[in-house]
């Protein structure tokens, strides 16, 4: 089954941009992934799906400040013009018929 690898933490300043990476394990680089945001004390929130081509489709109501990109095994989530409410954990997800897999999550601190 696939494995998703994420950095454990990141930090960036208010108004700047930050880019997260989610890396798919060998043999799974063509898989679609999804990105989720989890603010402190809240349930996860779906941000987007992201294909291997870099094409992405965002969920309903997701800000234009969020975008996806990537190629091969590396998939990225970029947040531009960082706001305080963006401070959260960010998880990537992928799946096969009989399983779902989440990355370990990246904790974003907004300075």
d(CA 3, CA 71): 17
Is 94 a binder of other proteins (CB under 8 A)? Answer: yes
Min separation Cβ 104 and other proteins, Å: 5
Cβ-proximal residues to 64 (8 Å cutoff; 6+ apart), any chain: none
CA distances for 72 relative to 2, 33, 68, angstroms: 14, 12, 13
- Backbone φ and ψ for 65, nearest 5 degrees, come out as -70, -15
Residues 14-33 that bind other proteins (CB under 8 A): 32-33
Residues contacting other proteins: total by CB under 8 A: 26
Q: Which of 26, 64, 84, 99 binds other proteins (CB under 8 A)?
A: 99
What is residue 64's DSSP assignment?
Answer: T
Q: Which of 66, 105, 108, 110 binds other proteins (CB under 8 A)?
A: 105
Site of interaction with other proteins (CB under 8 A): 32-34, 36, 38, 43-46, 49, 57, 59, 89, 91, 93-95, 97-105
């Amino acid at each position: 089954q696939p494995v998703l690898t994420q950095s454990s933490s990141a930090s960036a300043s208010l108004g700047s941009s930050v880019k997260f990476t989610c890396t798919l394990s060998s043999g799974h680089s063509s898989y679609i992934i999804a990105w989720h945001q989890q603010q402190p004390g809240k349930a996860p929130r779906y941000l987007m799906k992201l294909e291997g081509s870099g094409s992405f489709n965002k969920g309903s109501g997701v800000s234009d400040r969020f975008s996806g990109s990537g190629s091969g095994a590396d998939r990225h989530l970029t947040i531009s013009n960082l706001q305080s409410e963006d401070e959260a954990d960010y998880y990537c997800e992928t799946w096969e018929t009989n399983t779902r897999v989440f990355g370990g999550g990246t904790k974003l601190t907004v300075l």
